[in-house]
Amino acid sequence: MTTATKLQHYPVMLYEVTQVLINNPAGTYLDCTFGGGGHSRHFLEEFPNIQLYAIDRDPDAWKRAEELKREFPRNFFFECMPFSTLDRLGVKVFSGVLFDFGISSIQLDDAERGFSFRYHMPLDMRMNPKQGMSAQEFLKTASREQLIEAICDFGEEAQGRRIVDLILKNRGSEVLEFADTFADLIAQHCPRSGKIHPATKTFQGIRIAVNHELEEIQQALPKAFERLQPGGRLVVLSFHSLEDRIVKQFWRKMETSSRAKSLTPKPILPPPEEVKMNLRSRSAKLRILEKFQ
Ligand SMILES: C[S@@+](CC[C@H](N)C(=O)[O-])C[C@H]1O[C@@H](n2cnc3c(N)ncnc32)[C@H](O)[C@@H]1O
């Protein structure tokens, strides 16, 4: 058993999301990012007559989904899969689909997953540790251009090129193998004033690269839209400007082709009380797209 089972994730904008997603108390819904199951659990408790399908690419999420399945055996279903493959689900039509991008606090705080620079653990950062390349492998093998894309573009790290040079200079050293030693290396060479750790953006960029997060979103949004019934809604929580850009572009494309309307000309932001209670919510943006009848 990993420590993940004891960790917790606070669902972001829980009431706002529930209110806009569930427009039919007997509808069929899809939660594409089950995570700790906070959103899913709330939907089922508030609307016991819905059918809820949930997916997550992280095999640890499956254990939490099993618990929910025991409580709601007739109307909760879970599949461990990346959301880019949601077209493989047997159910063809949903009243609403939710995406809550990124990783959960459970994944971040689980030392063994290698997402956090707080721990002396192998740098892994894969949402599914059985698939794809770990962050450690990525640092060992990526070309200069791939490192620049990850750290400068995905991480939006202003000192990205300096950090890429550091990585290339330290190739072969154990320093690049562990989360804390890699973060210390960055902190030594690129110190920064302010509250956030100097390695934060680099870690975020590498995480986005090894999990192909932006491609996943690009592929999943049109597939989710195709499975919406008329009047159904796509509800998305993004936490990063690159995620949000893909969402906005997709909304615009559907609006200009007269297939849907955006219900959020401006994104809905979390209330200040929530940000105070759950710092992770501070960068959240909620956008809603409704398919035409
Ligand atoms: C922010 S958390 C979701 C938290 C959840 N809404 C809750 O209330 O606990 C994001 C989850 O989405 C999953 N995820 C991210 N990208 C994914 C993808 N491409 N396919 C499937 N799951 C993904 C992550 O593994 C993580 O568990």
H/E segment holding residue 124: none
Structure confidence at residue 4 (pLDDT): 41
Segments forming the whole domain that contains residue 204: 128-210
Sorted by sequence, the CB contacts under 8 Å of residue 86 that are 6+ apart come out as 30, 32, 55, 220, 223, 224, 227
pLDDT tens digits in sequence order for the chain, 293 residues long:
344 446 788 999 999 999 999 999 999 999 999 999 999 999 999 999 999 999 999 999 999 999 999 999 999 999 999 999 999 999 989 999 999 999 999 999 999 999 999 999 999 999 999 999 999 999 999 999 999 999 999 999 999 999 999 999 999 999 999 999 999 999 999 887 778 899 999 999 999 999 999 999 999 999 999 999 999 999 999 999 999 999 999 999 999 999 999 999 999 999 999 999 999 899 999 999 999 97
For residues 92 and 219, membership in a common domain is answered with yes
Sheet strands side by side (includes 285-291): 76-80, 51-56, 28-31, 94-100, 228-238, 285-291, 260-262
For residues 219 and 206, membership in a common domain is answered with no
- The residue whose CA has the least distance to atom 5 of ligand 1 is 35
For residues 224 and 81, membership in a common domain is answered with yes
The first and second tokens of residue 108, run together, are 């971040």
For residues 51 and 142, membership in a common domain is answered with no
Do 280 and 13 touch, CB atoms closer than 8 A? no
For residues 260 and 234, membership in a common domain is answered with yes
Structure confidence at residue 7 (pLDDT): 78
Q: What pTM does this model have?
A: 0.96
Per-residue pLDDT reduced to its tens digit, 129-148: 999 999 999 999 999 999 99
Structure confidence at residue 81 (pLDDT): 97
Instruction: State which of 183, 210, 237 marks the end of a domain.
Output: 210
For residues 66 and 146, membership in a common domain is answered with no
Mutate to test the pocket of ligand 1, among 104, 207, 279 (most ligand atoms within 8 A of CB): 104
C-beta of 60 in contact with ligand 1 (< 6 A): no
For residues 186 and 220, membership in a common domain is answered with no
- The total of structural domains in the chain comes to 2
The first and second tokens of residue 189, run together, are 């060479």
C-beta of 4 in contact with ligand 1 (< 6 A): no
CATH number for 24? 3.40.50.150
Structure confidence at residue 93 (pLDDT): 97
Expressed in angstroms and rounded, the spacing between residue 99 Cα and the centre of ligand 1 is: 8
Per-residue pLDDT reduced to its tens digit, 2-46: 444 467 889 999 999 999 999 999 999 999 999 999 999 999 999
C-beta of 39 in contact with ligand 1 (< 6 A): yes
Structure confidence at residue 192 (pLDDT): 77
C-beta of 290 in contact with ligand 1 (< 6 A): no
C-beta of 56 in contact with ligand 1 (< 6 A): yes
Structure confidence at residue 6 (pLDDT): 65
For residues 157 and 36, membership in a common domain is answered with no
For residues 28 and 63, membership in a common domain is answered with yes
For residues 92 and 18, membership in a common domain is answered with yes
C-beta of 58 in contact with ligand 1 (< 6 A): yes
- The residue whose CA has the least distance to atom 27 of ligand 1 is 35
Do 263 and 23 touch, CB atoms closer than 8 A? no
Instruction: State which of 194, 210, 226 marks the end of a domain.
Output: 210
C-beta of 83 in contact with ligand 1 (< 6 A): yes
Do 33 and 99 touch, CB atoms closer than 8 A? yes
For residues 77 and 204, membership in a common domain is answered with no
CATH number for 163? 1.10.150.170
CA–CA distance, 199 with 187 (Å, rounded to integer)? 7
Measured from the Cα of 127, ligand 1's closest atom is 25
